[in-house]
Amino acid sequence: MIETYFIQFAYIVAAALFILSLKWLSHPTTARRGVTVGELGMALAIAGTLVHHEIVSYRWILVGFVLGAAIGIPLAVFMPMTHVPQRTALSHALGALAAALVGTAEYYLHTEELSAFTMAALGLEVILGYLTFTGSLMAFGKLQDLLPGRPIVYKGQNATNLSLLAVAVAIGVYLVLDPGRSELFPLLAVLSLAFGVLLIIPIGGADMPTVISLLNSYAGLSAAAMGFVLDNKLLIVAGALDGSSGFILSVIMCRAMNRSFTNVLFGGFGQVQAGVAQATDKSVRSVSPEEAAAILEAAGSVIIVPGYGMAVAQAQHKVRELYDALTRRGIDVKFAIHPVAGRMPGHMNVLLAEADIPYDRLVEMEEINPEFPRTDGVLVIGANDVTNPAARHDTASPIYGMPILDVDRARTVMVIKRSMSPGFAGIDNELYYMDKTMMLFGDAKSVVGDLVKELSGTPAGV
């Protein structure tokens, strides 16, 4: 069987190319090469599969290719960078649905001859696939503001969810013992679909980076389970890579918020602390863009701290103009990127790169924190909780222990904020009441625009 050898060979080479692809992604200078290699691996694997002896007709495969491309291309080419988290959630949903449907088809094709092990893998594939499908759609809805971003919680929620999952798993186990009970299979699918919805509704918008990573991991694992069902090692490798990537990112996100998996999934964060922000009589100092521009002009080094508020206000291109205006005056400008800035891991970097800010100016939290005490001016744009010093010392604070950017250690701090309303967790930010802090109230885009105007009004060197 020469074609079997060809398929096996294509799959082995593809697996190697996928690993190489991820390896090259480690650095921006080689990353695009990584994508090319990944595409090559994919093309090879698909070409190998198309000669498979079981295929009797290509008509529906072609229909699938055309429709899939018609959906995939616009989603990639026209999607604004601010919407990348939504697109990612959608692609987790599509990937998981594909795995779940293949599992379903396999079950009904081979009901009688399924071995216990294959049935176990198939059960896992189908449960993970369907729950990731609806879960990702829910995440998509929350990110796209189709659903309320705040957590929806009710009494006995965790008990309901867990018992639902327990029933689904019990049915899975029953099917492993007796795969012939095909009347139970639809129930398994429905319970998994329902569990996906219920799992995500209690999770707030600010936890989306963790949730997206976790769903990524599930989608990968269901693809790997599919590899076990179909006896396809390439699928196992690709699924394992995707699963471990999602897992690593979830751990990084959890650590960046000082929370555990269980806390993210069952905590209903952002709900409990609503009453914490006490009415304060502390006063804040507000400055005009004019004064702020004068302070920035006199500084030798400036760190800009962007948060999701900057992206919401679509201010990144104005921020780039500010970066240019300051750099032209010989001021050293850096950007401090907190791991959970944005709505998915690394989102803020993509937004700033899109605005043409060089990537060597984007500095991670661990590297930039020692630099704050040596920095003259910090400009916080649309970030809140990640700059709150209470996370370091106030054991009563809900964000206590969360790693933060040490903005308060810089010489002067300026904060652009729409109003004094607290962040997602409803926590008052001590930073705003410090003597060295000045508030610039207004929409991020227009305030940064005003700063740029002030800075370009007086030409450099005059």
> Considering only residues 61, 166, 298, 460, which one is a binding residue for another protein as defined by CB under 8 A?
61
Q: Supply 406's token pair.
A: 């040490």
**Which residue, 76 or 162, is less far from another protein as judged by CB?**
76
> Considering only residues 130, 185, 195, 228, which one is a binding residue for another protein as defined by CB under 8 A?
228
Binders in 315-344 for another protein, by CB under 8 A:
337, 339, 344
**C-beta of residue 338 within 8 angstroms of C-beta of residue 304:** no
- CB of residue 16 vs another protein: minimum separation in angstroms? 10
**Which residue, 70 or 162, is less far from another protein as judged by CB?**
70
> Considering only residues 220, 289, 403, 449, which one is a binding residue for another protein as defined by CB under 8 A?
220
Q: How far apart are CA 445 and CA 315, in angstroms?
A: 4
- CB of residue 298 vs another protein: minimum separation in angstroms? 23
The verdict on whether 385 is a catalytic residue reads: yes
Binders in 24-43 for another protein, by CB under 8 A:
25-28, 31-32, 34-35, 38-39, 41-42
Binders in 267-296 for another protein, by CB under 8 A:
none
**Which residue, 67 or 170, is less far from another protein as judged by CB?**
67
In DSSP terms, 377 is beta-bridged to 302, 412
Question: Does the protein bind another protein through residue 230 (CB under 8 A)?
Answer: yes
**C-beta of residue 209 within 8 angstroms of C-beta of residue 428:** no
* 3-state class percentages of the chain: helix first, strand second, coil last, to nearest 5: 65, 5, 25
Q: Supply 48's token pair.
A: 């190998």
**Which residue, 245 or 271, is less far from another protein as judged by CB?**
245
Question: Does the protein bind another protein through residue 181 (CB under 8 A)?
Answer: no
**What secondary structure does DSSP assign to 3-39, as a single string?**
HHHHHHHHHHHHHHHHHHHHHHTTSHHHHHHHHHHHH
**What secondary structure does DSSP assign to 214-237, as a single string?**
HHHHHHHHHHHHHHHHHT-HHHHH
Q: How far apart are CA 173 and CA 311, in angstroms?
A: 46
Question: Does the protein bind another protein through residue 196 (CB under 8 A)?
Answer: no
Q: How far apart are CA 224 and CA 232, in angstroms?
A: 9
Task: Please report, as a single letter, which amino acid is at residue 440.
Answer: L
Instruction: Map residues 75-94 to x or -, x wherever contact with another protein holds by CB under 8 A.
Output: xxx-x-x--x--xx--xx-x
> Considering only residues 4, 9, 50, 166, which one is a binding residue for another protein as defined by CB under 8 A?
50
**Which residue, 337 or 431, is less far from another protein as judged by CB?**
337
**Which residue, 294 or 350, is less far from another protein as judged by CB?**
350
What is the sign, positive or negative, of the torsion defined by CA atoms of 52, 53, 54, 57? positive
Q: Helix axis angle, 84-110 relative to 208-230, nearest 10°? A: 30
Q: 462: how many CB neighbours lie within 10 A of its CB?
A: 4
Question: Does the protein bind another protein through residue 211 (CB under 8 A)?
Answer: no
Binders in 346-365 for another protein, by CB under 8 A:
346-347, 349-350, 353-354, 356, 358-362, 364
Instruction: Map residues 233-272 to x or -, x wherever contact with another protein holds by CB under 8 A.
Output: xxxxxxxxxxxxxx-xx--x--------------------
Q: How far apart are CA 77 and CA 94, in angstroms?
A: 18
Longest dimension (CA), the chain: 86
- CB of residue 413 vs another protein: minimum separation in angstroms? 24
Piece in contact with another protein (CB under 8 A), picked from 147-155, 186-194, 214-222, 278-286:
214-222
**Set 385, 406, 408, 450: catalytic member:** 385
**Which residue, 117 or 166, is less far from another protein as judged by CB?**
117
Piece in contact with another protein (CB under 8 A), picked from 74-82, 158-166, 185-193, 433-441:
74-82
Distances (CA, A) of 332 to 304, 337, 375, 440, 445: 11, 16, 10, 22, 22
Point out the residues that are catalytic: 385
